[in-house]
Structure 1
Amino acid sequence: MEQRGGRGRPHRTAVLAAAVVILFFASVLLGSYTVTIPDFFTIVFNHLTGGVKIPGASFIVMENKLPRAVIGTLIGIAFGLAGALFQTMLRNPLASPDVIGISSGASAAAVVAIVVFGASGAAVSGAALAGALAVAALIYAISSGGKLRGTRRGNAAGNRLVLAGVGIAAALQAVVSFLMSRADIRTAADTLVWLNGSLNSASWDRAGVLLLALAALVPAAGVVAAPLRILELGDDAAAGLGVRVNRARLALVVTAVSLAAVATAAAGPVSFVAFLAGPIARRLTGTASLPASAFVGALIVLAADYVAANLAPLLLDGTVLPVGVITGALGAPFLLWLLVTANRKEA
């Protein structure tokens, strides 16, 4: 999955991987309830073997902290890969799932399921997954002129895809706002937590489903990313080098959308992780590296969740923020900075 330009700095990707491991264990061992390393391994061993459980500590570690960290890591990897695939394929740093409407599709479908049908749990996740895939298909069809393959017109040009996604996202946001205004207070509060992206409902069942999905999608990303560097040269050049452009791009879009969709279904639309991971990884490694983007995505989610769950309550009278609030606060200024620097380059 490492792109060809990144061979000179593989150690930086390894450092990012090590940082993910360190932050993962920090999020489990530290915080409002600290656990020593020996106690952690004792708790996990006893849980797996049916041994004596430590009252309180076993529940906090095995049912709260550990599944929360596992899901945070997995959705960070998924969002990081999805954003890097879109941004590299379309040669546009704005082309991430949360900007072009994929996350909005998941959000709208989930809100419909919660507010209209009273769904909860796995049903909401399933609706979010279906909504993300449906909106992605619509965006691709609009941007490719109604043809998914076979002609040059069927290519999903970067600018058209981004514009189509932004327009659809705006329409879906209006749907979400309307449904929220019609919901009762309790339902609206539950829906708002999900819309902000949260790990508060992390569970082993959800982690297992997400792990199985990524076990298939991450290798698929490595396979479909093979012609990615050639596609960056442009459609004509890629076709001249023997790449089936429409087929390769469709495979990339399906894989990237699926990654973003399963992550959104697991924890809600965690803002700007897909948008931030690719550019940050590129600056750290000097190239478009999918593994580095995945690790940066995991770092962003783990760090943001640690702040939301442990530091924010100290400043906000015990209030635990959804992780999406922290990532949104990071992503908004980065987006503005990106637009300002782009304008300076054009000038």
Structure 2
Amino acid sequence: MSRLVHYVGSLPPEINTSPRDGMRWIIDHSADAGLSTLPWDSDPRWIVEFLLGLAERGEALEVVQSGDWGDYDKQQRYRVKSGVKLTASHVSMRRAERIRQNLAVYRELVADDSRLDGVPFQQSLPSPLDLSLFTFGQRPVLLKHVATYADALAAEVTDLHATDGDDLVWQLEAPTVLVLLNKTPRPLRGFVARRLAAQMAGFVERLPQEARLILHLCYGNLNDRELVAPRDLAGVDVFLNALHTRLRAQNRAIPPVHVPAAYGSQPPPVRPQFYAALGSVHADWPLVAGIVDENQPDDSRKALALFEAAADRSSHAVATACGLGRHSEADARAAAALMTELSTA
């Protein structure tokens, strides 16, 4: 059985010294197995550099809670300055030129390597809901500014798709989905899942029709600590099925979705009940099994079997539960080796 190897994006800082070094490392460790994408992210802590950088702009936002994002209780929060109307330009990630430079490196690397034929460059795309949450924190305020972040992100994707869309896949990253679903009482999970699906579909509808996506779900992974500890994957099926209906209504292709099982520093569960909800996920979804834990290879092997038995199909790809940015170089190498092994298990 053949599956692809999927890298969520981030790499340990000692590996990720440049776009060329980071992508070359991924190629050297996994290209023989077959890569889903070739990613490169500059920030091993996902969006922390962006969030801290908002304080330096001084245009529209001011800090109301200082923090260095060293842990969940050290988050930096902002508010809109008095008399300022927040616009997309104020919260834009301002990375289009940098992405184009990374794409140039990507094209050089793949030009003479037949193993990479058809492998696109993967660019991180934090969801507008998550960016608003991590910027503003408080619920009424964060919801007020989701649309502004959506404006900024949609403009970036549209700009880059016009010139580089053939080589690009956007990884839409939404930790809020699983965090909220796992904090919601079970009787209300269906309602919350449908609301989250509606919000995400509304954002996707603003992107170019042919823009390619991968959906990344997560439980949070700051300092290898999760925001929630899931008991099972309940709610994932309702969310994905509701999102499927909305994407089909937009005539969108159903993208691969990365479903994490391991979380924080915890290995993937080896209880069949944990994965049971996958049996209700629409068959159109290509599933990326986020079950790889380099410290627990036996549990990872068992978890892959349980994941696919519950889903009643082979996985599109195998992956770790989150990026490798919080790993040591040795652990990252072990994770790459285990992903390669499980891609053909």
TM-score (normalizing by structure 1): 0.26
TM-score (normalizing by structure 2): 0.26
Name the structure where helix makes up a greater proportion of residues.
1
Higher relative contact order (Cα pairs below 8 Å, separated by 6+ residues): 1
Name the structure where strand makes up a greater proportion of residues.
2
